[in-house]
Chain A
């Protein structure tokens, strides 16, 4: 071999090697598993809009410079040469089996660098082993406690867990007591899959720790046409603080049955779900009013985050609806993954996983009321919530007082006066 040929070969080899090292991906694929059809399609749609808005923020399509939000002023992922986020959606249909199959299909066909979802706790429980097996960095907002108890390395809970979501209920009840308002019996009504059972367990534990007894717990299965016995049971037990976990369709039947059977407790508190879904409001109208829920976002927090209103206005201009608890959490999950990819300077799953572990986003950098920082189990240690009461069909923050935009209506007015 002559010398000239050797040099030429060396140059080619160098070009190939440096090419592979230095070539930046033009786009980064993120798989989003949400219930686009099934019993919570309105919810899935909100998640999708949130994820798309979040991706557009990272890709430079949403103008939010100077807001301090993570991704504001970016034009793709900076450390990856401006690689754009590309979302691929998969429909869980709200079913664990379908969700698991879709997660597997998504991972093997589009080869995402990260995934998120699946909203329903029961579905997330089913897909967690799949994403762990394929080692795909995955963010979720599902609340079921068990998700982070199984030692998954690639699963990160960006939202609150059942305990963090329940904590605010007891703070609120304390505060209500300080206002001189009374209540007697705490009871629970919940659907019997992971989200309902985990939250009810968490509330029961927290109540016990405070010396409060749960007077009645009524689990129910979602597929039924008649919920009279559930409501009659709560009514006859005199439950006046009701903790409810329901998805949309059952939530609608329950609220209608409450009106029919004239059951109005002083407080209905939910961890979101039915009362985040626009379809619930379409179906029950003004009967949606006065329910309270754990709330994770409010554009009215503008005194502390002036940018929120502007961002919400832009979202509303595009989608015809306000950002709600579901869209805001999907925006945040996109930010969290984008931040990790940016710090990892790589789309390689182990590098992203490592970067996710070191995530430290302040509340000012995201739209949520809380920041994002993971503990050893990948729960978000900063997770916390506010209480919103539905007034005029809108969630209005009533607690904590520093974030409140209005006073709570306590007790919920009797049905005969509404």
Chain B
């Protein structure tokens, strides 16, 4: 194992981790604000990937350029989901909430299965096949753009939460719901917004990964499971921690797999996950 190979594996891991981080951010946002895990999150990602694929196949739009479209459409889907499915169960027991997002998972996954069949489909992108070489380290154009897009999207979300009035209200709601209500913050609209933002992140991630990843009705799991690990690693509800968690997961996955055996890379991811939870139950950056 040369140093070059090890360094390459770290770079590859960071690229992969950037995307996992973006998926994790969406999960983390809902968790942080509503104390709710959205098990169907991977399915929104999958639907976004299908949207990108059909925009490419039907209209010839380069996958990366579908980002604004998938973001807007998935934002709408998130708001709709909140209003139709989530709001009615918010007052119910925690099991009702968990089961409702699980039900959504089944509905979204098998609707896609019914409509699109389980075929693997992939948009062809010149960007994905281009290779960028920097100081002997190599990344594909598709990954680099996905990584950069991930960072931009997360930074934008960060800025929104930190500096806008609505963002601050969202954070207030996350910190103390009762106090926020006392201050006149209306939770319903903000919850809808949070759902929209969260699924819009899935929309962005779906378009970004489509240039180098195929889509089928089960593809959500491929990204969601590592993303859950990233959320737990970064601290539940901590949006910035989720990105950092994603990067750690990416590096553990690729570098760990390269240094040991690739077959055990997911086991390594979950080993780190369990280890961190054992030592810091709130996650690395949890408060």
Contacts and interface: CB of A to CB of B under 8 A. Distances in A.
Contacts, number: 107
B5 A232 contact: yes
A224 B258 CA distance: 15
Interface string A138-164: 000000000000000000000000000
13 contacts: A38-B119, A219-B263, A225-B209, A225-B213, A226-B12, A228-B12, A229-B256, A233-B257, A235-B5, A236-B1, A236-B5, A249-B122, A256-B140
Contacts of B265: 229
A228 B262 CA distance: 9
Interface residues of A, number: 38
Interface stretch (B94-102, B123-131, B175-183): B123-131
B110 interface: no
A93 B12 CA distance: 32
A226 to B, nearest CB: 5
A256 B254 CA distance: 16
B216 interface: yes
B209 A236 contact: no
Given A236-B5, A248-B120, A256-B212, A226 B258 contact: no
Interface residues of B, number: 40
Contacts of B262: 218, 220, 227, 229-230, 233
Nearest to B12: A228
A39 B263 contact: no
A17 interface: no
Contacts of A218: 261-263
Contacts of B120: 38-39, 41, 248-249
A95 B9 CA distance: 33
Interface in B67-116: none
Interface stretch (A101-109, A171-179, A259-267, A339-347): A259-267
Interface string B188-227: 0000000000000000000001001110101001110000
B131 A260 contact: yes
Contacts of B129: 256, 259, 284-285, 287
B53 to A, nearest CB: 13
Interface-central residue, A220, A224, A252, by most chain B CB under 10 Å = A224
B16 interface: yes
Given A256-B212, A259-B129, A282-B124, A232 B218 contact: no
Q: Which 8 A-B pairs have the closest CB atoms?
A: A229-B257, A37-B117, A228-B12, A249-B120, A229-B258, A236-B5, A229-B262, A230-B262
B128 to A, nearest CB: 7
B118 A223 contact: no
Given A232-B8, A233-B262, A252 B118 contact: no
B229 to A, nearest CB: 14
Contact of A37 (B2, B118, B139, B257): B118
Interface of A: 37-39, 41, 93-95, 192, 218-221, 223-230, 232-233, 235-236, 248-249, 252-253, 256, 259-262, 282-285, 287
B117 A225 contact: no
Interface centre among A218, A224, A225 (most CB of B within 10 A): A225
A269 B256 CA distance: 27
A94 B218 CA distance: 13
Contact of B253 (A229, A261, A284, A287): A229
Interface in B125-181: 128-129, 131, 138-140
B2, B140, B262, B263 — which one has the most chain A CB atoms within 10 A of its CB? Answer: B262
B218 A223 contact: yes
A220 B263 contact: yes
B253 A226 contact: yes
A283 B122 contact: yes
Contacts of A223: 218, 221-222
Contact of A226 (B16, B131, B261): B16
Contacts of A287: 129
A249 B120 CA distance: 7
Given A218-B262, A261-B8, A225 B16 contact: yes
A224 B214 CA distance: 10
Nearest to B5: A236
B5 to A, nearest CB: 4
Contact of B118 (A93, A233, A282, A284): A93
Interface in B231-287: 253-258, 261-263, 265
A38 B140 contact: no
Given A232-B12, A252-B214, A260-B139, A283 B124 contact: yes
A83 B278 CA distance: 70
B9 A229 contact: yes
A281 to B, nearest CB: 11
Contacts of A282: 124
A283 to B, nearest CB: 6
